[in-house]
């Protein structure tokens, strides 16, 4: 089977069987089973497809060693967030009857996908997922990642002072000197500027009024 090598060195089969809109459980199981018998070794499902249990049964039914099958599933929007993502992962693993996933994806760029990503990073470090990634993310969402933004600012000789109380994030925020954005990336990120603040607008009279009413004991 021809494979492609992911950024972390994991090999992923170049062709697989997809389960989107295969709502009938028996049909989903039979489709995966027949695909495995035909030589497929990549299965793509998702919590939102509602057929993870069928996929698990098909894998077990096939008798093919687990390490020969590359299983991908995805976390749905309603489970976005650090704690929710951890629970969703355990649920998917149980439905698939597996001990680990080969690839776990954020299905859609909605909700707290930053928290979801932190959870996925931890699961990856624990060896429960061989590779992590995103699905259906357009470039503007991907360019929103903290390290890329920090690198973009540093390359423009702008001092950056990111706040974090998590050891992992503190280290990540500092590890921006081993890569460089090319000219095209620098220009593309610049176009994302809407000209509006994401925080407090000091042109807003209500904000000015609120700031003036704050009292701090020094």
19, 57 Cβ separation under 8 angstroms:
no
Q: Is the pLDDT of residue 40 over 60?
A: yes
42, 28 Cβ separation under 8 angstroms:
no
Q: Is the pLDDT of residue 215 over 70?
A: no
Percent of the chain predicted with pLDDT > 90: 49
170, 164 Cβ separation under 8 angstroms:
yes
150 confidence band (pLDDT: 50, 70, 90): confident
Check residue 217 and give its pLDDT.
63
Percent of the chain predicted with pLDDT > 70: 85
Between these two residues, 107 and 190, which has the higher pLDDT value? 107
8-state DSSP, 101? B
CA distance 6 to 36: 22
Residue 129's nearest CA partner among 49, 70, 68, 54 is 70
CATH 1.10.3720.10 matches 1-136: no
SS3 call for 129: strand
In 11-122, the DSSP E strands lie at 11-13, 17-18, 42-44, 70-75, 103-106
What is the helix (H) or strand (E) element at residue 4, kind and residue range?
A: strand 3-5
- Catalytic positions: 49
Per-residue model confidence as pLDDT tens digits over 108-119: 888 888 789 889
Check residue 105 and give its pLDDT.
95
What mean pLDDT value characterizes the chain?
Answer: 85
Find the largest Cα–Cα distance for the chain. Answer: 72
Between these two residues, 3 and 218, which has the higher pLDDT value? 3
Per-residue model confidence as pLDDT tens digits over 156-206: 888 887 767 777 778 877 888 877 878 877 887 777 666 666 555 656 777
89, 79 Cβ separation under 8 angstroms:
no
Count of CB atoms situated within 10 Å of the CB of 118: 19
SS3 call for 18: strand
Check residue 218 and give its pLDDT.
46
Between these two residues, 124 and 111, which has the higher pLDDT value? 124
Q: Cβ-count burial of 210 within 10 angstroms (0-12 exposed, 13-18 middle, 19+ buried)?
A: exposed
In 42-161, the DSSP E strands lie at 42-44, 70-75, 103-106, 132-134
Per-residue model confidence as pLDDT tens digits over 69-91: 999 999 999 999 999 999 999 99
Q: Is the pLDDT of residue 214 over 70?
A: no
Opening angle at CA 49, ends 46 and 52, nearest 5: 60
CA distance 30 to 33: 5
30 confidence band (pLDDT: 50, 70, 90): very high
**Domain layout of the chain by residue ranges:** 1-136, 138-212
């Amino acid at each position: 089977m021809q494979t492609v090598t992911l950024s972390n060195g994991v090999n992923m089969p170049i062709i697989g069987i997809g389960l989107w809109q295969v709502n009938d459980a028996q049909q989903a199981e039979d489709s995966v089973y027949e695909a495995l018998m035909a030589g497929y070794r990549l299965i793509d499902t998702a919590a939102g497809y509602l057929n993870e249990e069928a996929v698990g049964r098909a894998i077990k039914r096939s008798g093919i060693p687990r390490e020969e099958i590359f299983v991908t599933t995805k976390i749905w929007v309603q489970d976005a967030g650090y704690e929710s993502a951890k629970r969703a992962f355990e649920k998917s693993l149980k439905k698939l009857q597996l001990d680990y996933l080969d690839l776990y994806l954020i299905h859609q760029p909605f909700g707290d996908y930053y928290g979801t990503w932190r959870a996925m990073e931890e699961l990856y470090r624990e060896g429960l997922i061989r590779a992590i990634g995103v699905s259906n993310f357009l470039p503007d969402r991907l360019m929103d990642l903290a390290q890329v933004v920090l690198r973009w600012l540093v390359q423009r000789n702008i001092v950056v002072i990111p706040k974090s109380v998590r050891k992992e994030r503190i280290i990540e925020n500092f590890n921006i000197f081993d890569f460089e954005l090319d000219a095209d990336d620098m220009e593309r990120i610049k176009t994302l500027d809407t000209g509006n603040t994401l925080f407090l607008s000091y042109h807003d009279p209500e904000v000015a009024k609120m700031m003036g009413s704050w009292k701090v004991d020094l």
